[in-house]
Structure 1
Amino acid sequence: MPEALAGRSDRFMTVKGLITALTEQENLNFLLTNRIPRAAITRFMGWFSKIENPYVCAASIALWRLFSDLDLSEAKKTEFKSLHDCFTRELKDGLRPFDPDPSVVTSPSDAIIGAHGAIEDTELFQIKGANYSLKDLLGDDRLVETHRNGRFVTLRLTSSMYHRFHAPADFRIEHVTFISGDVWNVNPIALKRVEKLFCKNERAVIETHLSSGEALTIVPVAAILVASLRLHCIEATLNAQTRGPTTFPCDAQVRKGDELGWFEHGSTIIVLTPDRFEFCDNVREGARIKAGQPLLRKP
């Protein structure tokens, strides 16, 4: 075989082997994080994380650090009562300044930016080629019409990130609807394999109107190990014991940057706006964003 052809063959085999290895790694990841009793493990995690024992807490955080990029240097306190206390930690004052421009909708949380773009009639996507509908996500025809042909952005919180989320603009919260569901992992591997994943998991639909009158909807989506979602505006913790769909009336005026609540582990937030909003220059799929940084802008 000529030397040039042999070189090409070797490179082909190397690429083929790499693809095979990555596929096997994805299969293992999906198996370990999804083909298990997800609901039972999530309930167990909710119980276990609240054990207030210094040895259990220290060992759990050490193990967490071993398998993630957990950084507690920004945390307001240095000692935690439990794993739950660490998950839901507050940050030191002033570390997440919110863009003061009233035309800007900021990121409500620290996150990795996922799928985003224009909603095509009522269709949006979790990854390219994997669509889902506003009706399946929101379960409300009226709200579907509100966001028809609008904009959407998906924000994925990893387990090691700051888990509290905040008001991305000045607005009034009008309703919160909790929709019961599953707790699939929401990592990119699962998003490629589970059709309409966000529409299957537990989620809250937070309806708001900006001070300028436009509708903005925030959809926190739970995932495996997310034992509950705490929302201050209804003074309630939403979890598997909450039957849904359940709508909680609400009339809360909040300012940009006000804390809305927290997840008890990493998860996803989907933000929906009208079509007149444009994405800010820093919004790119795969980019990391912090709470308070620009996300969308009204021209």
Structure 2
Amino acid sequence: MSTLRPLHSNDIKRPDEQNKHGISMEYIEYIDRETSTLCKEKVPGERWLKWLYHNPFGKIALHSVVKNKFLSAWYGHKMDSPQSCAKIPDFVKNLGIDMDEATRTMEDYTSFNDFFIRKLKPEARPVDDESESIVSPADGKVMAFERIDQLGSFFVKGSKFSLDNFLQDKELSTKYSDGSLLIFRLAPADYHRFHFPANGHISATTQISGEYYSVSPYAVKNKLDIYWKNKREFSTLKTETSGNILLCEVGATMVGAIIQNYTPESEIKKGMEKGYFKFGGSTVIMLLEKGKNQIDKDILQNTAKGYETSIKMGERIATACT
């Protein structure tokens, strides 16, 4: 499990003390929302990620092999084999995964991917039932920006999120250009099904082909364009109280596939399952229209200090403006 320690003001390192706040070359820190403590994240393949994204020879391997679809597809297929079940016990133990939350025991899965996309008991992820709340669509770590042009507070100063490149849809990029952006990062240890953040009418999915770069902070802290270079799929949730919410699922290195299992052009309820990622860490990006919602202050404050906030699917992250 992650090591916890009390969070004090002198724990918050300034940019000149640490490489982009909570993301250093040595480790990743985030704020646990439930306990308000500063935690160090345990990252599978951490040395490998550092080598790939911060070593000249690693970058050669990254651009020639790792980012390509065939490697992720091959590894995803390998994780579908019955032999991959042998990886489950150590994975659970090393990353402190709570199997009491799952609907099945470790012995009941037919492959590592079967375990990876495990379902949880409904009581394990209660969904905030306030009519005007927006909830997290996934487990993971979240960053939130009231304005899309504020990303310099977390990434390299002056970085801008290119909606034109990300959505490849001029009308949509104009619609959300002055809106809010939330980035939900799913690590390999996280529950990997994603859900709807509010009640509403959901559109069909638009798919955009791309690469398979890692979405780990080691990768994206200096390369924001990974989000619009990677394979991604987006849809629009039309709500009565929160405007139109754009939901985008982003693939990454070793993600075998993004599976959408909802019915397009249908009415859905907050907390209903939308789909899941096969093996690998992944990202869900949410865009909110300007002036429609207020993101929870603790998430905004943590992001402004350079820290992600841990989150569970179903927790409130924002409230509709009344």
Q: Which residue of 2 aligns with 1:107?
A: 136
1:292 aligns with 2:314: yes
- Give, in whole Å, the separation in 1 of the partners of 2:217 and 2:66: 20
* Inter-CA distance 295–62: structure 2 relative to 1 (3 Å threshold): same
Any idea what the Cα deviations from partners look like across 1:227-266, whole Å, max 9, x if unmatched? 11111135xxxxxxxxxxxxxxx31110001110111132
Please tell me whether residue 68 in structure 1 is matched to residue 95 in structure 2: yes
The aligned counterpart of 2:14 is none
1:19-34 alignment to 2 at 5 Å?
22=26, 27-28=50-51, 30=53, 31=58, 34=62
Could you tell me which residue of structure 2 aligns to residue 48 of structure 1? 78
Secondary structure at the counterpart of residue 235 of structure 2:
strand
Q: Distance in 2 between matches of 1:103 and 1:173?
A: 17
2:297 is paired with a residue whose SS is: coil
1:239 matched to which residue of 2? none
> What's the counterpart of residue 146 of structure 1?
175
- Return the TM-score normalized by structure 1: 0.79
- On the 8 A contact 1:167/1:256 being kept in 2, the answer is yes
Distance in 1 (alpha carbons) for counterparts of 2:226 and 2:144: 13
What is the number of equivalent residue pairs in this alignment? 262
**Residue 182 of structure 1 contacts residue 201 of structure 1 at CA under 8 Å; is this kept in 2?**
yes
SS at match of 1:127: coil
Q: What residue is the counterpart of 2:269 in the other structure? A: 255
Q: Which amino acid aligns with 2:116?
A: F
CA distance in structure 2 between the aligned counterparts of 1:21 and 1:267, rounded to whole angstroms: 21
1:201 equivalent in structure 2: 230
How far did 1:66 drift? 6.1
| Other structure's SS at 2:181 match | strand
CA contact (8 A) 2:204 2:235 kept: yes
Residue identity in the other structure for 2:170: D
| Post-superposition offset of 1:147 | 1.1
How far 1:297 moved relative to its partner?
1.3
Please say if residues 282 and 295 of structure 1, whose CA atoms lie closer than 8 Å, have aligned partners that are also in contact: no
Letter in 1 for 2:310: R
Q: Identity over the aligned pairs, expressed in percent? A: 25
Larger radius of gyration: 1
Shift of residue 116, structure 1, vs aligned partner: 2.7
Q: Report which stretch shifted further, 254-263 or 63-72.
A: 63-72
Tell which deviates more after alignment, 133-142 or 278-287.
278-287
In the TM superposition, what is the alpha-carbon distance from 1:85 to its structure 2 partner? Answer: 0.6
Aligned counterparts of 2:286 and 2:244: Cα–Cα separation in 1: 11
TM-score norm. by structure 2 comes to 0.74
Q: Say which of 66, 75, 83 aligns to 1:37.
A: 66
- Map residues 1-299 of structure 1 onto 2, 5 A cutoff: 22=26, 27-28=50-51, 30=53, 31=58, 34=62, 36-38=65-67, 39-51=69-81, 53=82, 56-65=83-92, 68-78=95-105, 79-120=108-149, 127-129=155-157, 130-212=159-241, 214-233=243-262, 250-264=264-278, 265-276=280-291, 277-283=293-299, 284-285=302-303, 286-299=308-321
Deviation (angstroms), 1:149: 0.7
Instruction: Please give the alpha-carbon distance, in whole angstroms, between the structure 1 residues aligned to 2:99 and 2:198.
Output: 27
C-alpha distance in 1, partners of 2:224/2:138?
25
Distance (whole Å) between structure 2 residues aligned to residue 96 and residue 132 of structure 1? 31
Structure 2 residue runs without a partner (length 5+): 1-16, 19-23, 28-45
1:223 and 1:124, CA in 2 relative to 1: closer, same or farther beyond 3 A? same
How far apart, CA to CA, are the structure 2 residues paired with 1:159 and 1:116? 24
Amino acid at match of 2:73: R
Instruction: Say which is worse superposed, 190-199 or 20-29, in terms of deviation.
Output: 20-29
Change (3 A) 1:124 1:192: closer
- AA at the equivalent of 1:96: R
RMSD: 2.7
SS at match of 1:73: helix
**1:141 partner amino acid:** K
Give the counterpart letter for 1:280 in structure 2. D
Letter of the structure 1 residue corresponding to residue 319 of structure 2 = R
Q: Secondary structure at the match of 2:129?
A: coil
2:33 corresponds to which residue? none
Aligned to 1:240: none
Aligned-partner residue type, residue 272 of structure 1: L
How many angstroms apart in 2 are the aligned matches of 1:71 and 1:202?
A: 30
